[in-house]
Amino acid sequence: MSRYAVLYFATLAVLLGFDIPYLGIVAKGFFQSQVGEMLGDVRPVPAVLFYLLYVVGVLIFVSAAADATWRSTLLYGALFGLFCYATFELTALAMLKQWTWAVVVMDIGWGVFVTAVSATAGLLIADWATPRG
């Protein structure tokens, strides 16, 4: 398997491993209490497309560079998460009456964390499984 494939699937696995339990257990009650009427059932196709495309973005902008290190992926993963999650959250806050600052702050913080960790763990797994050289 190519290094890019390993990097992609490792990053995706780590992201899903953190995000699904977070959304399904940890944050579910919080989001329900904040914007409950707006929440519906998860539509699988858009959700799957988000994860598949988001990881492509992580690789392009964060971890696929030949000189990527765990330190750089941690930093740039955090920044990528900040910009992506803030784009959605601040747009939602600007346009949706029921969106709250508490949701914005919590979700942006989560996006920073989960993207930094996923990018870094994906890189470390890819370095272990398919060393550069």
Q: What is the CA radius of gyration of the chain?
A: 16
Residue ranges per structural domain of the chain: 3-129
- Least Cα distance to 62 among 117, 9, 108 occurs for 117
Q: What is the pLDDT of residues 5-56, one digit of tens each?
A: 999 999 999 999 999 999 999 898 999 999 888 888 889 999 999 999 999 9
Residue type, 83: F
CA distance 74 to 1: 25
Instruction: Give the pLDDT of residue 42.
Output: 84
Can you give the pTM of this predicted structure?
0.94
- What digits encode the pLDDT tens for the residues 13-23? 999 999 999 99
Q: What pLDDT is attached to residue 74?
A: 98
Residues 78-119 pLDDT 10s = 999 999 999 999 999 999 999 999 999 999 999 999 999 999
Q: Output the CA torsion sign for 31, 33, 34, 36.
A: positive
- Is residue 129 within a helix (H) or strand (E), and if so which, with residue range? helix 101-129
Contacts of 25 (CB under 8 A, 6+ apart): none
Among 118, 126, 127, 117, residue whose Cα is nearest residue 13:
118
